[in-house]
Amino acid sequence: GAGVSQSPSNKVTEKGKDVELRCDPISGHTALYWYRQSLGQGLEFLIYFQGNSAPDKSGLPSDRFSAERTGGSVSTLTIQRTQQEDSAVYLCASSFSRGSETQYFGPGTRLLVL
Amino acid sequence: GESVGLHLPTLSVQEGDNSIINCAYSNSASDYFIWYKQESGKGPQFIIDIRSNMDKRQGQRVTVLLNKTVKHLSLQIAATQPGDSAVYFCAETLEYGNKLVFGAGTILRVKS
């Protein structure tokens, strides 16, 4: 079946603008995660959704970042008033149920804030 | 090994040789460990995993070793091929955890 998909694949924006990044998880996966990867760095956890439970937002770096997951499937990560330090690859992953099961990653959205 | 910022450790091996990539994980309570491979411009790809009740697990051409005493994880790749060139990340989580904690990554370069 299809893997995790993300859109757009690349996004260039100006400082101060808002951006929305989309993730379509693998069908049937109830857990969805967002990570951020800065140039040459490892992956940094941002937020986790599991079914209808309240999301774990502990990794969001500031209140400019938010995410939602509609209908238990598609998720949108929104960054308001983007800053240059927000430039990174934003990766989405999904797993069947919880974090201790294999997480499958999408190709990422490469965000560049000018 | 561990590194900071752009200076990821690099392992260069000759095609056909075996590769060993090491990782020191951070949380002694972690129960589940995964190795991911990331090629340029792509998302991380699952390679192999291991749970804390095991110390070795083998896959196709890959073996993961876990030493909980010293919080060390290693990935062995047999007969390394040019297609194995990538950045390799170890990741850890708790059994009922909800996020992966990733290591900094190691660049593997395979010379033909």
Contact B100 A45 (CB under 8 A): yes
Contact B42 A4 (CB under 8 A): no
Which ranges in A1-114 belong to alpha helices (H)?
none
Contact A43 B6 (CB under 8 A): no
Query: Best mutation site among A23, A41, A53, A90 for testing chain B: the one with the most B CBs within 10 Å?
Result: A41
pLDDT of residue B10: 94
Number of CB pairs, chain A paired with chain B, less than 8 A apart: 72
Q: What is the pLDDT of residues A18-47, one digit of tens each?
A: 999 999 999 989 999 999 998 767 799 999
Q: Which residue has the tokens 């500031």?
A: A62
Residue B2 placed within a domain: no
Angle at A66 between CA A84 and CA A6, to 5 degrees: 80
Residue B93 placed within a domain: yes
Residue B3 placed within a domain: no
Given a cut of 70, is residue A15 above it in pLDDT? Answer: yes
Given a cut of 60, is residue B6 above it in pLDDT? Answer: no
Which domain range does residue B41 map to? 10-75+82-111
Which domain range does residue A81 map to? 5-113
Contact A105 B95 (CB under 8 A): no
Q: What is the pLDDT of residues B31-89, one digit of tens each?
A: 899 999 999 989 999 999 999 999 999 999 999 999 999 999 999 999 999 999 999 99
Query: Best mutation site among B99, B101, B102, B106 for testing chain A: the one with the most A CBs within 10 Å?
Result: B99
Which of these, A62, A59, A67, lies nearest to A85 by C-alpha position? A62
Task: Report the CATH number that the domain containing residue B59 is assigned in CATH.
Answer: 2.60.40.10
pLDDT of residue B2: 36
Q: Residues of B at the A interface (Cβ-Cβ below 8 Å)? A: 5-8, 31-32, 34, 36, 41-46, 49, 89, 91, 93-105
- Cβ distance A12 to A114 under 8 Å? yes
Residue B1 placed within a domain: no
